[in-house]
Structure 1
Amino acid sequence: MNDQDPALFALLNEIGIIEQLARNRFERAQPDGLRLPHFTVLNHMVRLGDGKTPGQLARAFQLTKATMTNTLQRLEARGFIRLEPDPDDARAKRVFLTPEGRARREEAVAFTATDLAALAQRADIRADALLAPLRALRTALDRDPRRN
């Protein structure tokens, strides 16, 4: 990185590095090999509700439908989601979180909570103070018409 780089570029670069380090830390903390892409689908469904189609989830995560289908198959094999026929389109499916999937999402958060609290203390940061500006940046990026 260069001191002459635009501040937003430098910020996004730092976020990218943080994401990679956090991904590795999260996955190492999971006792059963839960991968971050699988967790993010479970987390998305807890936050925003279930009943979406694989295509809707793929668009939300900016993935191909094939990639999302693979992720959903792995989650279904572990009993974390169930796929049901879409009542509006017999060719499509809807994705629903199972009680086991919800519980596994909560366990994943709990597995990392203590570690993350200690990390925040060592880094001398208040995560709650960072949330508002980061959410504003995420919202702006999400709404950017050049996103797709």
Structure 2
Amino acid sequence: MKKSATPESDNGQLMFDVLNEIGIIAQLSRALLESRLGDGLTQHHFSALNHLVRLGDGRTPLQMARAFQVPKTSMSHTLAGLEKRGLIRMEPNPQDGRGKLIYLTDAGRTLRDTAVRMITPDIMALIPQFGTEDAKAVLPVLRKLRVLLDEARD
């Protein structure tokens, strides 16, 4: 005998489906971005550069790891790849002799800005099919969900 669905299980499936769609969208958009980055750079590299552009220089690797919810070792690996390419520089933290502070280089800022310019035509190509009205309608809902998930992590 098949069990009938309950409102809780229906709602659970609904939210799973929402998050699953967002995950698939994230995967597809990551692949698109990485196809434009070149030089073995990944979405993780781009995200770190973008984070520094948005929030400013002088972050510690631990602060960035917490912001991205990854282990410090993973963030250190990402930052090492950026430093090797001359996209960031790490300097000693004057408040903590063992720690480092991360600074975006001109090359890092240029690469981030170039990547945004390179992906813009791909994003613009979505507008005729998706529409600006749909984008305006879905953005507040996605922001609300992001805030809820962000608050739940702490």
Does TM-score exceed 0.5, indicating one fold?
yes
How many corresponding residue pairs? 144
| 1:6 paired residue among 9, 13, 21 | 13
Residue 134 of structure 1 and its aligned partner are, at CA, apart by 1.1
- Is residue 114 of structure 2 the alignment partner of residue 114 of structure 1? no
Unaligned 5+ segments in structure 2 are: 1-9
List 4+ stretches of structure 1 deviating above 3 A: 123-126
The two structures have a TM-score, normalised by structure 2, of 0.85
What is the distance in 2 between the residues matched to 1:140 and 1:33? Answer: 34
What is the distance in 2 between the residues matched to 1:70 and 1:50? Answer: 18
Structure 1 residues 73-103: Cα deviation after superposition (integer angstroms, max 9, x where no partner): 0000111111010010001000011111111
Sequence identity (%): 49
The two structures have a TM-score, normalised by structure 1, of 0.89
Task: Pick closer, same or farther for the CA change 1:119–1:81 going to 2, 3 Å.
Answer: same
Equivalent runs, 1:83-94 vs 2, <5 Å: 83-94=90-101
More displaced 10-residue stretch of structure 1: 19-28 or 4-13: 4-13
Structure-1 residue corresponding to 2:22: 15
Residue 48 of structure 1 and its aligned partner are, at CA, apart by 1.2
- Is residue 43 of structure 2 the alignment partner of residue 36 of structure 1? yes
- Choose 1 or 2 for highest CA Rg: 2
Amino acid at match of 2:13: P
